[in-house]
């Protein structure tokens, strides 16, 4: 996996995932602290021309710094279930039902990390995965939040419910209530659907309730990453931040 830019490399280094650090001559002195931290941890460091970094980055911005390393470590559902039991009514989890665009996926992970969620659950099929594009979109923060990849999202939601979580699906429609009317005073799982189709019917049926984001301006819907940000921070606000 590639880590583009100094911030993403710092995050990867802190997680123990950075194996190779490549720095352009123009950024060499400026990144002395990063180079020293990487050297201490045994990371291989190369001084490399900017055009070589451009080729490795495949046209993406790198600001003179590019890292390489292993995949981000995923967590297990059992660990998340135990955390929900421990956290009780403060637990907050995101579940993604068919979010396939890696840029949306990465943006959601960035918001989830900022909001301090207990985990993000996503299926191994018909979903974006934690790859270079998603990592870039997350600005290197994807590894800060526990990521749980499951074979069957529906069964995972059932297990989350059994652990004490209340499952909310974000979906507009006659059966939905306003997101802003919900107190979020219990362990919560927010389920977001795909960019085009929304929640799948079988996933919606597993939800304890459906919530809609009010659209007083008449816009039909928000981008899924924007909807995730609104929902997460509304939940935090109702709990007193």
Phi, psi angles (nearest 5°) of residue 110:
-65, -45
**CATH code, 77-238:** 3.40.1280.10
Question: 2-69 domain in CATH 3.30.1330.30?
Answer: yes
User: Quick check: 148 and 109 in contact, CB under 8 A?
Assistant: no
**Distance between CA atoms of 120 and 128, rounded to whole angstroms?**
13
Helix pair 153-162, 77-87: axis angle to 10 deg: 30
The SS3 assignment for 192 reads strand
**Residue 203 to residues 101, 194, 235: CA-CA distances in angstroms?**
19, 12, 21
Helix pair 6-15, 32-40: axis angle to 10 deg: 20
Residue range(s) of every CATH 3.40.1280.10 domain in the chain: 77-238
User: Quick check: 81 and 17 in contact, CB under 8 A?
Assistant: no
**Distance between CA atoms of 16 and 43, rounded to whole angstroms?**
10
Q: How many CA atoms lie within 13 A of 98 on its CB side?
A: 13
The pTM (predicted TM-score) of the whole model is 0.78
2: how many CB neighbours lie within 10 A of its CB?
A: 22
User: Quick check: 34 and 65 in contact, CB under 8 A?
Assistant: yes
How do the pLDDT tens digits run along the chain, 241 residues long?
888 899 889 988 988 888 899 999 999 999 999 999 999 989 999 999 999 999 998 888 899 999 988 777 789 999 999 999 999 999 999 999 989 898 899 999 999 999 999 999 999 888 888 777 777 777 767 778 899 999 999 999 999 999 999 999 998 888 899 999 999 999 999 999 987 788 999 999 999 999 999 888 767 778 899 999 999 999 999 988 6
Instruction: Report pLDDT for 130.
Output: 79
pLDDT tens digit sequence for 38-54: 999 899 999 999 999 99
Instruction: Report pLDDT for 175.
Output: 84
Q: What are the DSSP calls for 82-125, one per residue? A: HHHHHHGGG-EEEEEES---HHHHHHHHHHHHHHT-SEEEEESS
Residue range(s) of every CATH 3.30.1330.30 domain in the chain: 2-69
Instruction: Report pLDDT for 241.
Output: 64
**Distance between CA atoms of 145 and 115, rounded to whole angstroms?**
10
């Amino acid at each position: 996996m590639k880590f583009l830019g100094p911030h993403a490399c710092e995050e990867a280094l802190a997680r123990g995932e950075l194996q190779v650090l490549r720095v352009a001559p123009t950024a060499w002195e400026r990144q002395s602290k990063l180079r020293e931290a990487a050297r201490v941890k045994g990371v291989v460091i190369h001084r490399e021309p900017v055009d070589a970094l451009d080729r490795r980055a495949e046209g993406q911005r790198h600001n003179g710094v590019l890292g390489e390393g292993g995949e981000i470590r995923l967590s297990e559902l059992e660990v998340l279930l135990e955390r929900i039991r421990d956290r009780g009514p403060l637990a907050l989890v995101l579940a993604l039902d068919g979010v396939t665009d890696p840029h949306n996926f990465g943006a959601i992970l960035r918001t989830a990390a900022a909001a301090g969620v207990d985990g993000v659950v996503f299926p191994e099929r018909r979903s974006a995965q934690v790859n270079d594009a998603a990592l870039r979109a997350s600005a290197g923060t994807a590894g800060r939040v526990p990521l749980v990849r499951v074979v069957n999202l529906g069964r995972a939601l059932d297990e989350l419910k059994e652990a004490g979580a209340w499952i909310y699906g974000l979906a507009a429609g006659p059966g939905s209530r306003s997101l802003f009317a919900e107190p979020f005073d219990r362990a919560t799982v927010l389920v977001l659907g795909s960019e085009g189709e929304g929640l799948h019917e079988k996933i919606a049926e597993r939800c304890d309730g459906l919530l809609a984001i009010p659209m007083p301006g008449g816009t039909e819907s928000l981008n899924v990453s924007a909807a995730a940000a609104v929902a997460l921070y509304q939940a935090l606000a109702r709990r007193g931040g």
